[in-house]
Amino acid sequence: MNLIFLGAPGAGKGTLAARLSKEYGIPQISTGDIFRAAVKQGSELGRKVQGIMEKGELVPDSLTVELVEERLAQADAQNGYILDGFPRTIAQADALASFQKIDMAINFNTSDEVVIRRLSGRRVCRSCGAIYHVENMPPKFEGKCDKCGGELYTRDDDTIESIKNRLRVYKDQTEPLIEYYRGKGLLRDIDSSTSPEESFSQIKSLLLVGFFGLGE
Ligand SMILES: [Zn+2]
């Protein structure tokens, strides 16, 4: 099953992709991970990516697509995969369609209010990187990491202004993809404004219907 997860930052894609990946034994593939792996391997493409990232520039479409193609050709992706955060543009989606057959694009629907609450409540430990949430997963002592006692802080891109900006960028750039996959009959919607458990069972129902021919 070749899957694409679409949704705004904070819609819960990453968490659900990790769970599904475990459940079905297919890899969760994000471009960030691909870039990091390529840099680590020191391949020719990896050295290119490294140079671009060191300058703080965006990795161009053509190079991203090349790296994704290389990654999807690897052995562990032959029974399926979950693409998380790719494609981001119609051009990338067209390129992807030229070398891969996508079975389903799952669209994570959430309101902006839910995303803002989720992301602005996130706190990260300065020392060990552990992640907390002021409402859903508070530390035992405010501002202190349970694991190492380190100081908890709000990442720059989790401030409300920055979240609103990320949502705007998402809508402008990625929402056309929803229509793109809807037009191809591949789009399925879930409501991801509730709990991860609830989203997980919605996705499993979609997969049962789509891949195993079973009713709900
Ligand atoms: Zn810590």
> For the domain 2-26+79-111+170-212, what is the CATH code?
3.40.50.300
By percentage, how much of the chain surpasses pLDDT 70?
98
What pLDDT is attached to residue 141? 95
42 three-state secondary structure: coil
pLDDT at 15 over 90: no
What pLDDT is attached to residue 110? 92
Q: pLDDT confidence of 216, banded at 50, 70, 90?
A: very low
Q: Ligand 1 centre and the CA of 151: distance in Å?
A: 7
Tens digit of each residue's pLDDT (9 = 90 or more) over 39-58: 998 888 889 989 988 888 88
H-state helical runs in 9-106: 13-24, 31-41, 44-54, 61-72, 90-99
Average pLDDT, the chain: 91
Q: Write 154-163 long-range contacts (CB < 8 A, 24+).
A: 154/120, 154/122, 154/123, 154/124, 155/122, 155/124, 158/119, 158/120, 158/122, 159/120, 160/116, 160/120, 163/9, 163/10, 163/115, 163/116, 163/119, 163/120
What pLDDT is attached to residue 215? 52
Active site residues: 13, 88, 122, 155, 166
Give the global pTM: 0.84
Number of Cβ within a 10 Å radius of residue 32: 11
Q: Ligand 1 centre and the CA of 125: distance in Å?
A: 5
Q: Ligand 1 centre and the CA of 48: distance in Å?
A: 34
Tens digit of each residue's pLDDT (9 = 90 or more) over 132-185: 999 889 999 999 999 999 999 998 888 999 999 989 988 888 889 999 999 999
Q: Ligand 1 centre and the CA of 123: distance in Å?
A: 11
Domain ranges of the chain: 2-26+79-111+170-212
What pLDDT is attached to residue 212? 73
